[in-house]
Structure 1
Protein backbone atom coordinates (compact mmCIF):
# COMPACT_ATOMS: atom_id res chain seq x y z
CA UNK A 1 0.00 0.00 0.00
CA UNK A 2 2.82 2.35 0.87
CA UNK A 3 4.51 1.58 -2.45
CA UNK A 4 1.36 2.48 -4.35
CA UNK A 5 1.07 5.74 -2.45
CA UNK A 6 4.64 6.64 -3.33
CA UNK A 7 3.88 6.00 -6.98
CA UNK A 8 0.77 8.19 -7.03
CA UNK A 9 2.65 11.49 -7.64
CA UNK A 10 4.54 9.93 -10.57
CA UNK A 11 1.36 8.46 -12.03
CA UNK A 12 -0.42 11.79 -11.69
CA UNK A 13 2.49 13.65 -13.27
CA UNK A 14 2.64 11.26 -16.25
CA UNK A 15 -1.13 11.46 -16.60
CA UNK A 16 -1.10 15.26 -16.79
CA UNK A 17 1.86 15.14 -19.19
CA UNK A 18 0.00 12.69 -21.42
CA UNK A 19 -3.14 14.83 -21.49
CA UNK A 20 -1.16 17.98 -22.32
CA UNK A 21 0.89 16.36 -25.11
CA UNK A 22 -1.98 14.37 -26.67
CA UNK A 23 -3.23 17.26 -28.87
CA UNK A 24 0.33 17.83 -30.13
CA UNK A 25 0.76 14.14 -30.95
CA UNK A 26 -2.59 14.06 -32.77
CA UNK A 27 -1.59 17.17 -34.72
CA UNK A 28 1.60 15.53 -35.98
CA UNK A 29 -0.29 12.34 -36.87
CA UNK A 30 -2.78 14.42 -38.88
CA UNK A 31 0.12 16.22 -40.58
CA UNK A 32 1.69 12.90 -41.58
CA UNK A 33 -1.57 11.42 -42.89
CA UNK A 34 -2.51 14.58 -44.76
CA UNK A 35 0.88 14.69 -46.51
CA UNK A 36 0.12 11.34 -48.16
CA UNK A 37 -3.60 11.91 -48.78
CA UNK A 38 -5.28 13.15 -51.93
CA UNK A 39 -8.17 14.37 -49.82
CA UNK A 40 -9.40 14.10 -46.23
CA UNK A 41 -12.95 13.08 -45.37
CA UNK A 42 -14.43 15.37 -42.71
CA UNK A 43 -10.98 16.96 -42.61
CA UNK A 44 -9.45 14.15 -40.55
CA UNK A 45 -9.89 10.82 -42.37
CA UNK A 46 -7.58 10.18 -45.38
CA UNK A 47 -9.49 8.78 -48.34
CA UNK A 48 -7.01 8.42 -51.20
CA UNK A 49 -3.28 8.01 -50.59
CA UNK A 50 -0.80 9.51 -53.04
CA UNK A 51 2.80 10.71 -53.39
CA UNK A 52 1.71 13.74 -55.40
CA UNK A 53 2.09 16.00 -52.36
CA UNK A 54 5.79 15.15 -52.25
CA UNK A 55 6.41 16.15 -55.86
CA UNK A 56 8.45 19.17 -54.71
CA UNK A 57 11.36 16.76 -54.08
CA UNK A 58 11.79 15.83 -57.76
CA UNK A 59 10.10 18.70 -59.62
CA UNK A 60 9.20 22.37 -59.34
CA UNK A 61 5.96 23.40 -57.66
CA UNK A 62 3.64 25.75 -59.55
CA UNK A 63 1.43 28.07 -57.49
CA UNK A 64 -0.97 30.49 -59.18
CA UNK A 65 0.76 29.99 -62.51
CA UNK A 66 4.30 30.69 -61.24
CA UNK A 67 6.94 28.12 -60.34
CA UNK A 68 8.43 28.20 -56.86
CA UNK A 69 12.20 27.96 -56.40
CA UNK A 70 13.74 24.51 -55.94
CA UNK A 71 13.24 23.03 -52.48
CA UNK A 72 16.90 21.99 -52.51
CA UNK A 73 18.00 25.60 -53.00
CA UNK A 74 15.88 26.61 -50.02
CA UNK A 75 17.27 23.71 -47.97
CA UNK A 76 20.88 24.61 -48.78
CA UNK A 77 20.26 28.26 -47.88
CA UNK A 78 18.61 27.26 -44.59
CA UNK A 79 21.53 24.99 -43.68
CA UNK A 80 24.02 27.70 -44.66
CA UNK A 81 22.19 30.30 -42.59
CA UNK A 82 21.76 28.12 -39.47
CA UNK A 83 25.25 26.59 -39.68
CA UNK A 84 27.09 29.88 -40.16
CA UNK A 85 25.04 31.50 -37.41
CA UNK A 86 25.95 28.66 -35.05
CA UNK A 87 29.68 28.92 -35.76
CA UNK A 88 29.75 32.71 -35.34
CA UNK A 89 27.70 32.64 -32.15
CA UNK A 90 29.80 29.91 -30.54
CA UNK A 91 33.16 31.47 -31.42
CA UNK A 92 32.23 35.03 -30.44
CA UNK A 93 30.20 33.89 -27.43
CA UNK A 94 33.07 31.83 -26.01
CA UNK A 95 35.52 34.71 -26.25
CA UNK A 96 33.06 37.27 -24.87
CA UNK A 97 31.91 34.94 -22.09
CA UNK A 98 35.49 34.28 -20.98
CA UNK A 99 36.31 38.00 -20.94
CA UNK A 100 33.20 38.75 -18.86
CA UNK A 101 33.96 35.92 -16.45
CA UNK A 102 37.71 36.25 -15.97
CA UNK A 103 38.95 39.70 -16.96
CA UNK A 104 38.62 42.98 -15.13
CA UNK A 105 38.27 45.95 -17.46
CA UNK A 106 36.64 49.39 -17.31
CA UNK A 107 32.90 49.20 -17.87
CA UNK A 108 32.64 45.49 -17.07
CA UNK A 109 29.95 45.94 -14.41
CA UNK A 110 27.86 48.16 -16.68
CA UNK A 111 28.23 45.75 -19.57
CA UNK A 112 27.04 42.85 -17.43
CA UNK A 113 23.99 44.82 -16.34
CA UNK A 114 23.03 45.82 -19.88
CA UNK A 115 23.74 42.47 -21.57
CA UNK A 116 20.26 41.09 -20.96
CA UNK A 117 18.72 44.43 -21.87
CA UNK A 118 20.39 44.25 -25.29
CA UNK A 119 18.81 40.84 -25.87
CA UNK A 120 15.39 42.14 -24.84
CA UNK A 121 14.89 44.21 -28.00
CA UNK A 122 12.61 42.29 -30.40
CA UNK A 123 13.68 42.00 -34.02
CA UNK A 124 10.54 43.73 -35.28
CA UNK A 125 11.42 46.91 -33.37
CA UNK A 126 14.74 47.17 -35.21
CA UNK A 127 13.63 46.40 -38.76
CA UNK A 128 13.83 49.98 -40.08
CA UNK A 129 17.24 50.62 -38.53
CA UNK A 130 18.55 47.28 -39.79
CA UNK A 131 17.26 48.05 -43.29
CA UNK A 132 19.23 51.31 -43.45
CA UNK A 133 22.39 49.61 -42.17
CA UNK A 134 22.18 46.69 -44.60
CA UNK A 135 21.37 49.00 -47.51
CA UNK A 136 24.34 51.24 -46.62
CA UNK A 137 26.68 48.24 -46.45
CA UNK A 138 25.36 46.76 -49.70
CA UNK A 139 24.15 43.63 -47.89
CA UNK A 140 20.43 44.01 -48.53
CA UNK A 141 18.97 40.86 -50.12
CA UNK A 142 22.02 38.90 -48.94
CA UNK A 143 22.08 35.90 -46.62
CA UNK A 144 25.36 37.13 -45.15
CA UNK A 145 23.78 40.43 -44.16
CA UNK A 146 20.95 38.70 -42.30
CA UNK A 147 23.45 36.31 -40.70
CA UNK A 148 25.38 39.28 -39.27
CA UNK A 149 22.16 40.87 -37.98
CA UNK A 150 20.92 37.65 -36.36
CA UNK A 151 24.35 37.01 -34.82
CA UNK A 152 24.44 40.51 -33.31
CA UNK A 153 20.98 40.02 -31.79
CA UNK A 154 21.88 36.61 -30.30
CA UNK A 155 25.38 37.33 -28.98
CA UNK A 156 24.32 39.01 -25.67
CA UNK A 157 22.37 35.96 -24.51
CA UNK A 158 25.03 33.56 -25.79
CA UNK A 159 27.83 35.39 -23.97
CA UNK A 160 25.78 35.48 -20.77
CA UNK A 161 25.12 31.71 -20.88
CA UNK A 162 28.75 30.87 -21.62
CA UNK A 163 29.90 33.22 -18.84
CA UNK A 164 27.95 31.10 -16.35
CA UNK A 165 29.86 27.97 -17.40
CA UNK A 166 33.21 29.77 -17.19
CA UNK A 167 32.29 30.95 -13.69
CA UNK A 168 31.96 27.31 -12.63
CA UNK A 169 35.55 26.54 -13.65
CA UNK A 170 37.89 26.90 -10.65
CA UNK A 171 40.64 29.50 -10.83
CA UNK A 172 43.01 26.84 -9.46
CA UNK A 173 42.81 25.02 -12.81
CA UNK A 174 44.05 28.08 -14.68
CA UNK A 175 46.75 28.90 -12.11
CA UNK A 176 48.06 25.35 -12.36
CA UNK A 177 48.39 25.69 -16.13
CA UNK A 178 50.14 29.06 -15.82
CA UNK A 179 52.58 27.66 -13.26
CA UNK A 180 53.39 24.78 -15.63
CA UNK A 181 54.51 27.31 -18.24
CA UNK A 182 51.41 27.76 -20.39
CA UNK A 183 50.46 31.23 -21.55
CA UNK A 184 46.96 32.61 -21.01
CA UNK A 185 45.72 31.63 -24.48
CA UNK A 186 47.01 28.05 -24.18
CA UNK A 187 45.38 27.66 -20.77
CA UNK A 188 42.10 28.96 -22.18
CA UNK A 189 42.19 26.78 -25.29
CA UNK A 190 43.59 23.49 -23.94
CA UNK A 191 42.38 23.46 -20.32
CA UNK A 192 39.34 25.66 -19.80
CA UNK A 193 37.47 25.13 -23.08
CA UNK A 194 37.27 21.31 -22.67
CA UNK A 195 35.74 21.81 -19.22
CA UNK A 196 32.78 23.77 -20.61
CA UNK A 197 31.88 21.42 -23.46
CA UNK A 198 28.30 20.99 -22.13
CA UNK A 199 27.85 24.76 -22.32
CA UNK A 200 29.24 24.89 -25.84
CA UNK A 201 26.90 22.05 -26.84
CA UNK A 202 23.92 23.89 -25.36
CA UNK A 203 24.72 27.15 -27.15
CA UNK A 204 25.38 25.30 -30.43
CA UNK A 205 22.07 23.47 -30.32
CA UNK A 206 19.99 26.51 -29.45
CA UNK A 207 21.82 28.68 -32.00
CA UNK A 208 21.17 26.18 -34.80
CA UNK A 209 17.50 25.84 -33.89
CA UNK A 210 17.14 29.62 -33.70
CA UNK A 211 18.69 30.04 -37.14
CA UNK A 212 16.70 27.19 -38.67
CA UNK A 213 13.38 28.62 -37.45
CA UNK A 214 14.16 32.28 -38.29
CA UNK A 215 11.52 33.86 -40.51
CA UNK A 216 10.97 37.57 -39.87
CA UNK A 217 14.45 38.85 -40.76
CA UNK A 218 14.78 36.56 -43.77
CA UNK A 219 11.30 37.40 -45.07
CA UNK A 220 11.95 41.14 -44.68
CA UNK A 221 15.46 41.45 -46.08
CA UNK A 222 15.64 38.60 -48.63
CA UNK A 223 13.81 39.25 -51.90
CA UNK A 224 15.45 37.07 -54.57
CA UNK A 225 14.48 33.44 -55.07
CA UNK A 226 18.10 32.24 -55.11
CA UNK A 227 18.43 33.28 -51.44
CA UNK A 228 15.12 31.82 -50.28
CA UNK A 229 15.01 29.62 -47.18
CA UNK A 230 12.56 26.91 -46.16
CA UNK A 231 10.65 29.25 -43.83
CA UNK A 232 10.03 31.68 -46.70
CA UNK A 233 9.23 28.72 -48.99
CA UNK A 234 6.41 27.72 -46.63
CA UNK A 235 5.13 31.27 -46.63
CA UNK A 236 4.91 31.25 -50.43
CA UNK A 237 2.72 28.15 -50.22
CA UNK A 238 0.31 30.13 -48.03
CA UNK A 239 0.49 33.40 -49.96
CA UNK A 240 -3.08 33.00 -51.22
CA UNK A 241 -5.28 31.85 -48.30
CA UNK A 242 -8.09 30.92 -50.72
CA UNK A 243 -5.95 28.46 -52.72
CA UNK A 244 -3.83 26.63 -50.13
CA UNK A 245 -2.96 23.04 -50.99
CA UNK A 246 -2.95 21.58 -47.48
CA UNK A 247 -1.57 18.25 -48.62
CA UNK A 248 1.45 19.92 -50.21
CA UNK A 249 1.80 22.26 -47.24
CA UNK A 250 1.81 19.28 -44.84
CA UNK A 251 4.47 17.48 -46.86
CA UNK A 252 6.76 20.53 -47.01
CA UNK A 253 6.25 21.09 -43.28
CA UNK A 254 7.36 17.54 -42.53
CA UNK A 255 10.34 18.00 -44.85
CA UNK A 256 11.17 21.19 -42.93
CA UNK A 257 11.13 19.23 -39.65
CA UNK A 258 13.43 16.38 -40.75
CA UNK A 259 16.80 18.20 -40.30
CA UNK A 260 15.73 19.40 -36.84
CA UNK A 261 14.76 15.88 -35.80
CA UNK A 262 18.06 14.49 -37.09
CA UNK A 263 19.96 17.28 -35.34
CA UNK A 264 18.15 16.49 -32.08
CA UNK A 265 18.86 12.75 -32.35
CA UNK A 266 22.57 13.42 -32.94
CA UNK A 267 22.87 15.94 -30.09
CA UNK A 268 20.49 14.57 -27.45
CA UNK A 269 23.39 12.94 -25.58
CA UNK A 270 24.97 16.37 -25.15
CA UNK A 271 21.62 17.83 -24.10
CA UNK A 272 21.29 15.22 -21.35
CA UNK A 273 24.69 16.24 -19.95
CA UNK A 274 23.94 19.96 -19.78
CA UNK A 275 23.76 21.52 -16.34
CA UNK A 276 22.84 25.09 -15.58
CA UNK A 277 25.87 27.36 -15.31
CA UNK A 278 26.07 29.57 -12.26
CA UNK A 279 27.38 33.08 -12.14
CA UNK A 280 28.78 34.10 -8.75
CA UNK A 281 31.46 36.48 -9.94
CA UNK A 282 29.84 39.72 -11.05
Structure 2
Protein backbone atom coordinates (compact mmCIF):
# COMPACT_ATOMS: atom_id res chain seq x y z
CA UNK A 1 0.00 0.00 0.00
CA UNK A 2 1.41 3.30 -0.99
CA UNK A 3 2.28 5.56 1.90
CA UNK A 4 -0.33 8.29 2.26
CA UNK A 5 1.18 11.74 1.79
CA UNK A 6 0.80 14.23 4.64
CA UNK A 7 -1.30 17.34 3.96
CA UNK A 8 0.42 20.56 3.01
CA UNK A 9 -0.40 22.60 6.12
CA UNK A 10 1.15 25.78 4.76
CA UNK A 11 -1.01 25.61 1.64
CA UNK A 12 -4.09 25.00 3.76
CA UNK A 13 -3.22 27.98 5.96
CA UNK A 14 -2.76 30.25 2.92
CA UNK A 15 -6.04 29.02 1.48
CA UNK A 16 -7.77 29.71 4.81
CA UNK A 17 -6.39 33.26 4.93
CA UNK A 18 -7.45 33.85 1.33
CA UNK A 19 -10.97 32.59 1.98
CA UNK A 20 -11.17 34.72 5.12
CA UNK A 21 -10.13 37.86 3.26
CA UNK A 22 -12.63 37.17 0.47
CA UNK A 23 -15.41 36.62 3.01
CA UNK A 24 -14.55 39.76 5.01
CA UNK A 25 -14.22 41.80 1.84
CA UNK A 26 -17.62 40.65 0.57
CA UNK A 27 -19.31 41.39 3.89
CA UNK A 28 -17.63 44.81 4.11
CA UNK A 29 -18.69 45.83 0.61
CA UNK A 30 -22.26 44.67 1.25
CA UNK A 31 -22.55 46.50 4.58
CA UNK A 32 -21.00 49.62 3.06
CA UNK A 33 -23.53 49.72 0.23
CA UNK A 34 -26.41 49.09 2.63
CA UNK A 35 -25.28 51.77 5.10
CA UNK A 36 -24.75 54.55 2.54
CA UNK A 37 -28.48 55.44 2.19
CA UNK A 38 -28.64 55.65 5.99
CA UNK A 39 -25.46 57.61 6.68
CA UNK A 40 -25.62 60.20 3.89
CA UNK A 41 -28.84 61.94 5.06
CA UNK A 42 -27.38 62.37 8.55
CA UNK A 43 -24.18 63.74 7.06
CA UNK A 44 -26.21 66.18 4.96
CA UNK A 45 -28.19 67.21 8.05
CA UNK A 46 -24.98 67.95 9.93
CA UNK A 47 -23.58 69.86 6.95
CA UNK A 48 -26.68 72.05 6.61
CA UNK A 49 -26.62 72.83 10.33
CA UNK A 50 -23.16 74.41 10.15
CA UNK A 51 -23.35 76.14 6.75
CA UNK A 52 -25.52 78.74 5.04
CA UNK A 53 -27.97 77.73 2.32
CA UNK A 54 -26.84 78.85 -1.12
CA UNK A 55 -23.20 79.35 -0.17
CA UNK A 56 -20.40 77.57 -1.97
CA UNK A 57 -19.26 76.08 1.33
CA UNK A 58 -22.23 73.69 1.54
CA UNK A 59 -20.99 71.14 -0.99
CA UNK A 60 -17.36 71.62 0.01
CA UNK A 61 -18.12 70.82 3.64
CA UNK A 62 -20.36 67.91 2.66
CA UNK A 63 -17.84 66.17 0.42
CA UNK A 64 -14.92 66.85 2.74
CA UNK A 65 -16.90 65.44 5.65
CA UNK A 66 -17.86 62.44 3.50
CA UNK A 67 -14.21 61.86 2.69
CA UNK A 68 -13.29 62.10 6.36
CA UNK A 69 -16.00 59.58 7.27
CA UNK A 70 -14.70 57.26 4.54
CA UNK A 71 -11.15 57.47 5.91
CA UNK A 72 -12.36 56.74 9.45
CA UNK A 73 -14.47 53.87 8.14
CA UNK A 74 -11.46 52.30 6.46
CA UNK A 75 -9.17 52.86 9.45
CA UNK A 76 -11.54 51.67 12.18
CA UNK A 77 -13.71 49.02 10.53
CA UNK A 78 -12.29 47.72 7.26
CA UNK A 79 -8.55 47.51 7.88
CA UNK A 80 -8.25 46.26 11.51
CA UNK A 81 -9.48 42.69 10.76
CA UNK A 82 -6.87 42.45 8.01
CA UNK A 83 -4.01 43.81 10.14
CA UNK A 84 -1.65 41.87 12.38
CA UNK A 85 -2.65 41.95 16.04
CA UNK A 86 0.25 44.21 17.07
CA UNK A 87 -0.96 47.03 14.80
CA UNK A 88 -4.59 47.09 15.92
CA UNK A 89 -4.01 48.80 19.27
CA UNK A 90 -2.68 52.10 17.94
CA UNK A 91 -4.81 52.39 14.78
CA UNK A 92 -7.86 53.97 16.57
CA UNK A 93 -5.67 56.59 18.25
CA UNK A 94 -3.94 57.45 14.98
CA UNK A 95 -7.28 57.66 13.16
CA UNK A 96 -8.73 59.95 15.84
CA UNK A 97 -5.70 62.24 15.70
CA UNK A 98 -5.86 62.38 11.90
CA UNK A 99 -9.60 63.15 12.04
CA UNK A 100 -9.03 66.06 14.42
CA UNK A 101 -6.24 67.51 12.27
CA UNK A 102 -8.15 67.15 8.98
CA UNK A 103 -11.33 68.61 10.49
CA UNK A 104 -9.44 71.58 11.91
CA UNK A 105 -7.64 72.33 8.66
CA UNK A 106 -10.24 71.63 5.97
CA UNK A 107 -13.75 71.68 7.50
CA UNK A 108 -13.97 74.04 10.48
CA UNK A 109 -12.85 77.17 8.54
CA UNK A 110 -15.91 76.76 6.28
CA UNK A 111 -18.49 76.25 9.03
CA UNK A 112 -20.54 78.55 11.25
CA UNK A 113 -22.57 78.22 14.44
CA UNK A 114 -24.94 80.99 13.41
CA UNK A 115 -27.72 78.47 12.73
CA UNK A 116 -27.69 77.47 16.41
CA UNK A 117 -28.21 81.02 17.67
CA UNK A 118 -31.78 80.15 18.71
CA UNK A 119 -30.24 78.26 21.65
CA UNK A 120 -29.17 81.49 23.34
CA UNK A 121 -31.38 83.99 21.48
CA UNK A 122 -35.12 83.13 21.64
CA UNK A 123 -35.91 86.11 19.40
CA UNK A 124 -34.67 84.10 16.40
CA UNK A 125 -37.47 81.56 16.68
CA UNK A 126 -39.96 84.31 17.55
CA UNK A 127 -39.05 86.18 14.36
CA UNK A 128 -39.37 82.98 12.35
CA UNK A 129 -42.72 82.27 13.94
CA UNK A 130 -43.87 85.80 13.17
CA UNK A 131 -44.26 84.82 9.52
CA UNK A 132 -47.22 82.62 10.47
CA UNK A 133 -50.56 83.31 12.09
CA UNK A 134 -51.59 79.63 12.06
CA UNK A 135 -49.12 78.39 14.66
CA UNK A 136 -49.58 79.14 18.32
CA UNK A 137 -46.81 80.49 20.48
CA UNK A 138 -43.89 78.08 20.52
CA UNK A 139 -42.03 77.46 23.77
CA UNK A 140 -38.27 77.70 23.90
CA UNK A 141 -36.30 74.70 22.75
CA UNK A 142 -35.04 74.26 26.32
CA UNK A 143 -38.63 73.87 27.53
CA UNK A 144 -39.34 71.28 24.83
CA UNK A 145 -36.14 69.42 25.66
CA UNK A 146 -37.00 69.42 29.37
CA UNK A 147 -40.45 68.00 28.59
CA UNK A 148 -38.88 65.28 26.44
CA UNK A 149 -36.41 64.32 29.17
CA UNK A 150 -39.22 64.25 31.73
CA UNK A 151 -41.39 62.08 29.50
CA UNK A 152 -38.69 59.63 28.42
CA UNK A 153 -37.01 59.45 31.83
CA UNK A 154 -40.22 58.87 33.78
CA UNK A 155 -41.39 56.27 31.29
CA UNK A 156 -38.06 54.44 31.51
CA UNK A 157 -38.16 54.38 35.31
CA UNK A 158 -41.73 53.06 35.38
CA UNK A 159 -40.94 50.39 32.79
CA UNK A 160 -37.89 49.10 34.68
CA UNK A 161 -39.68 49.16 38.05
CA UNK A 162 -42.66 47.17 36.77
CA UNK A 163 -41.12 44.96 34.08
CA UNK A 164 -38.24 43.64 36.20
CA UNK A 165 -40.32 41.83 38.87
CA UNK A 166 -42.85 40.72 36.24
CA UNK A 167 -40.13 39.18 34.07
CA UNK A 168 -38.53 37.56 37.11
CA UNK A 169 -41.85 36.01 38.15
CA UNK A 170 -42.48 34.60 34.66
CA UNK A 171 -38.96 33.19 34.54
CA UNK A 172 -38.52 31.84 38.08
CA UNK A 173 -41.87 31.27 39.77
CA UNK A 174 -44.06 28.27 39.00
CA UNK A 175 -47.76 29.12 39.10
CA UNK A 176 -50.87 28.05 37.25
CA UNK A 177 -51.40 29.94 34.01
CA UNK A 178 -47.81 31.11 33.61
CA UNK A 179 -47.52 29.92 30.01
CA UNK A 180 -50.91 31.38 29.14
CA UNK A 181 -49.86 34.70 30.65
CA UNK A 182 -46.61 34.65 28.68
CA UNK A 183 -48.48 34.02 25.43
CA UNK A 184 -50.90 36.81 26.30
CA UNK A 185 -48.02 39.25 26.81
CA UNK A 186 -46.56 38.19 23.46
CA UNK A 187 -49.94 38.82 21.82
CA UNK A 188 -50.13 42.28 23.40
CA UNK A 189 -46.69 43.09 22.02
CA UNK A 190 -47.78 42.03 18.52
CA UNK A 191 -51.01 44.05 18.63
CA UNK A 192 -50.95 47.19 16.39
CA UNK A 193 -50.99 50.10 18.84
CA UNK A 194 -52.18 52.56 16.19
CA UNK A 195 -55.59 50.89 16.35
CA UNK A 196 -55.92 52.12 19.94
CA UNK A 197 -55.33 55.81 19.26
CA UNK A 198 -58.97 56.94 19.31
CA UNK A 199 -59.85 54.76 22.30
CA UNK A 200 -56.85 56.04 24.26
CA UNK A 201 -57.75 59.65 23.42
CA UNK A 202 -61.32 59.20 24.71
CA UNK A 203 -60.17 57.36 27.84
CA UNK A 204 -57.54 60.01 28.59
CA UNK A 205 -60.21 62.70 28.24
CA UNK A 206 -62.56 61.02 30.73
CA UNK A 207 -59.71 60.37 33.18
CA UNK A 208 -58.55 63.99 33.07
CA UNK A 209 -55.15 63.02 31.63
CA UNK A 210 -55.54 64.82 28.31
CA UNK A 211 -52.94 67.52 27.65
CA UNK A 212 -50.72 66.09 30.38
CA UNK A 213 -47.19 64.70 30.24
CA UNK A 214 -48.25 62.18 32.88
CA UNK A 215 -51.02 60.91 30.60
CA UNK A 216 -48.57 60.31 27.75
CA UNK A 217 -46.15 58.60 30.16
CA UNK A 218 -48.84 56.20 31.37
CA UNK A 219 -49.94 55.38 27.83
CA UNK A 220 -46.42 54.74 26.54
CA UNK A 221 -45.53 52.72 29.64
CA UNK A 222 -48.54 50.48 29.09
CA UNK A 223 -47.74 50.00 25.41
CA UNK A 224 -44.03 49.29 25.96
CA UNK A 225 -44.40 47.05 29.01
CA UNK A 226 -44.96 43.74 27.08
CA UNK A 227 -41.77 44.24 25.06
CA UNK A 228 -39.72 45.01 28.17
CA UNK A 229 -41.10 41.98 30.04
CA UNK A 230 -40.36 39.60 27.16
CA UNK A 231 -36.80 40.86 26.73
CA UNK A 232 -35.98 40.83 30.45
CA UNK A 233 -37.45 37.34 30.79
CA UNK A 234 -34.87 36.02 28.33
CA UNK A 235 -32.10 37.52 30.47
CA UNK A 236 -33.51 35.99 33.66
CA UNK A 237 -33.86 32.63 31.86
CA UNK A 238 -30.14 32.74 31.07
CA UNK A 239 -29.12 33.12 34.74
CA UNK A 240 -28.34 29.65 36.19
CA UNK A 241 -30.87 28.58 38.80
CA UNK A 242 -28.08 27.10 40.94
CA UNK A 243 -26.60 30.55 41.63
CA UNK A 244 -29.80 31.81 43.19
CA UNK A 245 -30.44 28.61 45.12
CA UNK A 246 -26.90 28.67 46.51
CA UNK A 247 -27.55 32.12 47.94
CA UNK A 248 -30.82 30.93 49.50
CA UNK A 249 -29.06 27.88 50.95
CA UNK A 250 -26.45 30.17 52.51
CA UNK A 251 -29.18 32.00 54.42
CA UNK A 252 -30.25 34.77 52.06
CA UNK A 253 -33.94 35.49 51.64
CA UNK A 254 -35.55 35.24 48.24
CA UNK A 255 -35.58 39.04 48.01
CA UNK A 256 -31.88 39.25 48.94
CA UNK A 257 -31.01 36.59 46.37
CA UNK A 258 -32.98 38.48 43.74
CA UNK A 259 -31.44 41.85 44.60
CA UNK A 260 -27.85 40.84 45.33
CA UNK A 261 -27.33 37.82 43.07
CA UNK A 262 -29.76 37.77 40.16
CA UNK A 263 -30.05 41.48 39.33
CA UNK A 264 -26.28 42.00 38.86
CA UNK A 265 -26.34 39.11 36.38
CA UNK A 266 -28.93 40.89 34.21
CA UNK A 267 -27.59 44.44 34.56
CA UNK A 268 -26.73 44.50 30.86
CA UNK A 269 -30.30 43.60 30.00
CA UNK A 270 -31.66 46.31 32.29
CA UNK A 271 -29.44 48.93 30.65
CA UNK A 272 -30.39 47.74 27.16
CA UNK A 273 -34.13 47.74 27.89
CA UNK A 274 -33.83 51.11 29.60
CA UNK A 275 -32.04 52.49 26.55
CA UNK A 276 -34.66 51.25 24.09
CA UNK A 277 -37.44 52.53 26.34
CA UNK A 278 -35.86 55.98 26.67
CA UNK A 279 -35.36 56.25 22.92
CA UNK A 280 -38.96 55.17 22.34
CA UNK A 281 -40.19 57.94 24.61
CA UNK A 282 -37.79 60.52 23.17
CA UNK A 283 -38.83 59.77 19.58
CA UNK A 284 -42.57 59.34 20.21
CA UNK A 285 -44.69 61.44 17.88
CA UNK A 286 -48.14 59.88 17.37
CA UNK A 287 -49.37 59.89 20.96
CA UNK A 288 -47.78 63.20 21.93
CA UNK A 289 -49.54 64.75 18.93
CA UNK A 290 -52.82 63.12 19.96
CA UNK A 291 -52.73 63.77 23.71
CA UNK A 292 -50.73 67.00 24.10
CA UNK A 293 -52.81 69.93 22.86
CA UNK A 294 -51.24 72.90 24.63
CA UNK A 295 -47.93 74.11 23.18
CA UNK A 296 -46.58 74.60 26.71
CA UNK A 297 -46.29 70.79 26.92
CA UNK A 298 -44.51 70.49 23.59
CA UNK A 299 -41.74 67.88 23.36
CA UNK A 300 -38.78 67.80 20.98
CA UNK A 301 -40.42 65.64 18.31
CA UNK A 302 -43.31 68.11 18.07
CA UNK A 303 -40.94 71.07 18.21
CA UNK A 304 -38.96 69.75 15.25
CA UNK A 305 -42.20 69.15 13.35
CA UNK A 306 -43.44 72.72 13.85
CA UNK A 307 -40.08 74.26 12.96
CA UNK A 308 -40.12 72.37 9.65
CA UNK A 309 -43.55 73.67 8.63
CA UNK A 310 -43.85 75.92 5.57
CA UNK A 311 -45.85 78.32 7.73
CA UNK A 312 -42.74 78.86 9.83
CA UNK A 313 -40.73 79.88 6.77
CA UNK A 314 -39.11 76.44 6.39
CA UNK A 315 -35.53 77.65 6.87
CA UNK A 316 -33.46 74.54 5.96
CA UNK A 317 -30.50 75.58 8.09
CA UNK A 318 -32.71 76.22 11.12
CA UNK A 319 -34.44 72.86 10.62
CA UNK A 320 -31.08 71.09 10.34
CA UNK A 321 -29.73 72.77 13.48
CA UNK A 322 -32.86 71.78 15.41
CA UNK A 323 -32.52 68.23 14.09
CA UNK A 324 -28.92 68.02 15.29
CA UNK A 325 -29.94 69.17 18.78
CA UNK A 326 -32.72 66.58 18.70
CA UNK A 327 -30.25 63.81 17.82
CA UNK A 328 -27.51 64.65 20.33
CA UNK A 329 -29.09 62.84 23.35
CA UNK A 330 -29.76 59.81 21.14
CA UNK A 331 -26.14 59.63 19.99
CA UNK A 332 -24.80 60.15 23.52
CA UNK A 333 -27.04 57.42 24.90
CA UNK A 334 -26.05 55.02 22.13
CA UNK A 335 -22.33 55.60 22.72
CA UNK A 336 -22.85 54.83 26.41
CA UNK A 337 -25.03 51.74 25.94
CA UNK A 338 -23.81 50.22 22.67
CA UNK A 339 -22.03 47.26 24.29
CA UNK A 340 -25.20 46.39 26.20
CA UNK A 341 -27.47 46.71 23.16
CA UNK A 342 -25.56 43.95 21.39
CA UNK A 343 -26.38 41.56 24.24
CA UNK A 344 -30.09 41.52 23.44
CA UNK A 345 -31.11 38.28 21.79
CA UNK A 346 -34.40 36.50 21.91
CA UNK A 347 -32.44 33.40 22.75
CA UNK A 348 -30.84 34.88 25.87
CA UNK A 349 -27.51 36.55 26.65
CA UNK A 350 -24.84 36.23 24.06
CA UNK A 351 -21.31 35.68 25.23
Calculate the TM-score normalised by the size of structure 2.
0.73
Aligned residue number for residue 191 of structure 1: 261
Aligned residue number for residue 345 of structure 2: 276
Aligned residue number for residue 153 of structure 1: 223
Aligned residue number for residue 140 of structure 1: 210
The correspondence of residues 5-84 of structure 1 with structure 2, limited to 5 A, is: 5-40=19-54, 45=59, 50-60=112-122, 61-62=125-126, 63=129, 64-65=131-132, 67-84=137-154
Q: Which has the higher helix share?
A: 2
Distance in structure 1 (CA, Å) of the matches to 2:256 and 2:346: 23
Number of residue pairs the alignment of both structures matches: 278
**Residues 15-41 of structure 1, C-alpha deviations (whole Å, 9 max, x = no match):** 111122223332222212211232236
Distance in structure 2 (CA, Å) of the matches to 1:178 and 1:56: 58
Pairwise CA distance, 1:8? 0.6
Unaligned runs of at least 5 residues, structure 2 = 1-13, 62-109
Question: Out of 321, 336, 351, which is 1:266 matched to?
Answer: 336
Answer whether contact 1:37 1:50 (CA < 8 A) is retained.
yes
Question: Out of 252, 257, 269, which is 1:182 matched to?
Answer: 252
The correspondence of residues 152-171 of structure 1 with structure 2, limited to 5 A, is: 152-171=222-241
CA 120–241 in structure 1, closer or farther in 2 if over 3 Å, else same: farther
Q: Which has the higher strand share?
A: 1
Calculate the TM-score normalised by the size of structure 1.
0.90
Pairwise CA distance, 1:7? 0.5
Pairwise CA distance, 1:57? 0.4
Distance in structure 1 (CA, Å) of the matches to 2:290 and 2:272: 29
**Residues 221-267 of structure 1, C-alpha deviations (whole Å, 9 max, x = no match):** 00112211000001111333794111110110011011111111222
Answer whether contact 1:78 1:230 (CA < 8 A) is retained.
yes
Distance in structure 1 (CA, Å) of the matches to 2:228 and 2:222: 10
3-state SS, counterpart of residue 245 of structure 2: helix
Which of the two has higher C-alpha Rg? 2
Distance in structure 2 (CA, Å) of the matches to 1:270 and 1:126: 32
